Structures are given as C-alpha cells and as structure tokens.
Amino acid sequence: MIYIVLSIFCSVTVAILLKLAKRYQISIIQAVTVNYLTALILCYLFFKPDVNLIHSSAPWTIYIALAILLPTIFLFLAASVKNLGIVKTDIAQRLSLFIPILAAYFIFKEDFNQLKFIGLGIGFAAIILTFLRKQREQQSTSSKWLYPVMVFVGFGVIDVLFKQIALYKELPYTTSLFVVFCLSFFVALVIVSLMIFKRETKIQLVNLGCGLILGLFNFGNILFYLKAHKALSSNPSTVFAAMNLGVIVLGTLVGLIAFKEKLTLVNYFGILLAICAVILITLSQLNAI
C-alpha cells in the first residue's frame, strides 16, 4: 500500500509544482524538456532497459504519437493548473480513464456490465458539474475550458496508446517506456531550440532546476505505480481505485487549503460524483473477473 501512497504523493506534487511555476515565472517548456531528460536517465538507472532489443518492427507509430502527445499535453496540464487550479485539473486527468474504457467498448468490442455503464454516466455528469461556474464567471473563463478538455482527452488517448504498448510482448514495457522518454525529450528539445532561435525564451538555471524536480516526481509517480501493480498483482482494481481516488481527494484538499481555490456547491457535488464513478468502475472490473 505504501507504493500507492507514494505514487499519489508524486502525482499531486507534479500539479503543485506546475501551480507554483506561475508564481516564480518558470518557463514550462524548458522545465518539461529537462523533466523528460531526468525521467529518461532515471528510467535507464532503475529499469535497466535492454536497448539491443529495440528493432525496426517495434510499434514506432505509437512511440512517435506518444512522443508528440506527452510534452504537448504536459503544457496543457500546466495551463489548466495555472488557470483553473489543481482541483479541477486533477479531476479532468483522473476522469480521462473514461476514454480508454470507451475505446475498449467501441473499438476493441469488450463486453460491458451494467455497473460500468452507470459509472460512465455518473462520470460524465461529474465532469460537467465540477467545471460548472457561476454565470458571471463563465464569460471570463469560457476560453479556459480548452485546457481541462485537452487534459481529459489527451491523457485518455495517451492511456489507450500505453495500453497498446503493453500488449506488444516482444519488448518489455519498461524498454518501450525508455524509448518513449527518449523521443519525448527530443520533441521537447526541438520546441525549446526553435523558441530560443526565435528569441521567444532564453535558458535560465531556475527553469532547469524546476525541470529536474518535476522529472523526479513525474518518474516517481510512474515507478511507484508500477511497483504497486507488481506488489498487488492479484488485485489490480485496488491499485486502480486507490490511485484515482487518492489523487482526487488529496488534490482537492491541497487546492482548497494551500491555494485557496474556490469551488461552488455544485462543484463539490461534481467531485463527489467523480469519486462514485471511480468506485463503480472499479466494482465493475471486479465483477468482470
């Protein structure tokens, strides 16, 4: 259980760092670039991937898609935390689990039970209620809806792609993860290089330091999540539920207490529905076994 707690802590800490980035005028793209370099090095040290196993028949299309999506969605994640706060961003990220579930039903033709259908319905209601704002606030924030929507869709698509990598048995999952981090770092580095060439940004030590810390916690989230699944291999639904519920609850507490984020009564009801949705989907998975 300690691995789940550590994974939750790392996940919420990433959101906190992105929230503080605005206060200290951190260049997010520079931090994201160093973040992937850090994750790449840690991936090599902890998982010791065998690069000799990587060959031309590996799922390169998925690798490249992830390499483009990961740094891009990270920027949307940062923008969402900056404009709408930790609470709503964490819920958008956690409820993105509905996209791989829908993909399983519509694309991979998996059987659904009644609990999963109910969980999905409640989850979508939770999304609407969590992001609903007072009418006078809607006009000033309507354009900011793009950020959590992109977080929701982006992380959902990323989850589907990672699940496809997991099905590719000719390469260990951690080796594929190493390849994805390599390519993601390259994509982010190209973006930063272009911005420096256009004089839209300049390298600053504070950005590199923030990226290093961000990478440590981002990788920690992945490492402890994988360790939790390994330790509780007979109960994957427990890991799934504890992780998603833990991030929603801890993210909400941090947002409300530490950053004084404002929520309406309707928003609180949306958070409650989000928790119910995760529980129902977890129960539906247990029933499917």
Rounded Cα gap, residues 32 and 210, in angstroms: 9
pLDDT band at 187 (very low <50, low <70, confident <90, very high): very high
Over residues 76-132, the pLDDT tens digits come to 999 999 888 999 999 999 999 888 888 888 877 777 788 888 998 999 899 888 887
pLDDT value at residue 104: 81
Helix/strand number for the chain, H first, E second: 12, 0
Q: Per the confidence metrics, is the pTM higher than 0.75?
A: yes
Rounded Cα gap, residues 244 and 12, in angstroms: 11
The pLDDT of residue 208 is above 90: yes
The pLDDT of residue 181 is above 70: yes
Mean pLDDT confidence for 150-179: 92
pLDDT value at residue 223: 95
pLDDT value at residue 251: 95
Mean pLDDT confidence for 176-200: 94
The pLDDT of residue 289 is above 70: no
The share of the chain scoring above pLDDT 90, in percent, equals 64
Helix-helix angle 60-84:28-47, to 10 degrees = 130
pLDDT value at residue 287: 64
Mean pLDDT confidence for 159-173: 90
Query: How many C-alpha atoms does 273 have within 13 Å on its Cβ side?
Result: 21
pLDDT value at residue 227: 93
- Geometric angle at alpha carbon 102, from 83 and 255, rounded to 5°: 25
Of 131-135, 144-148, 248-252, 260-264, the least confident: 131-135
Over residues 23-59, the pLDDT tens digits come to 888 999 999 999 999 999 999 999 999 889 898 889 9
